[in-house]
Amino acid sequence: MSAVDDLREYLREGEVVEAIVFGPWGWGSAPIDGEDWEPGFGEPSPPPVPFDKRGVVLTLDEAESYMGSWSFYGGYGSPDCYATYIWTNQRVIWITEYDGSTGLDSAPRHPRGDMPDMPGG
């Protein structure tokens, strides 16, 4: 189980990760107005992604060390991964959820004639 392996398998030939931003774990929330972070439901302790690295633009090299003990793909129920945005030279990638099952989804980074799909179907 490794989110960085999940991501590498999801990438297309010639696709390069340019930036990653992690958010809260599962259905957790980011703190507001100076509050401290609270771990998300079921988040490992210590958290794989430190609180001070969430909402921060990271390179893949910087993010990789935080991605080895969890997966973007999960079964039903509360998500067992971080909300994540990933920018590549070709796409923007994020976590999608259908009835609690999580995985990666994406859209082209720039407008192009590409057939949209309907996540969750």
The neighbouring-strand residues paired with 103 are 96
The string of pLDDT tens digits covering residues 4-61 is 999 999 999 999 999 999 999 999 999 998 899 999 999 999 999 999 999 999 999 9
Q: For the whole model, what pTM was predicted? A: 0.93
Q: Is the peptide bond before 79 cis (omega within 30 degrees of 0)?
A: no
Q: 32 is written with which tokens?
A: 């507001």
DSSP 48-106: SS-GGGBT--B-HHHHHTTSSS--S-B-SSS--SEEEEEEESSEEEEEEEETTEEEEEE
Give the count of beta carbons closer than 10 Å to the beta carbon of residue 73. 17
Instruction: Tell whether the model's pLDDT for residue 1 goes beyond 90.
Output: no
Asked if the model's pLDDT at residue 100 lies above 80, the reply is: no
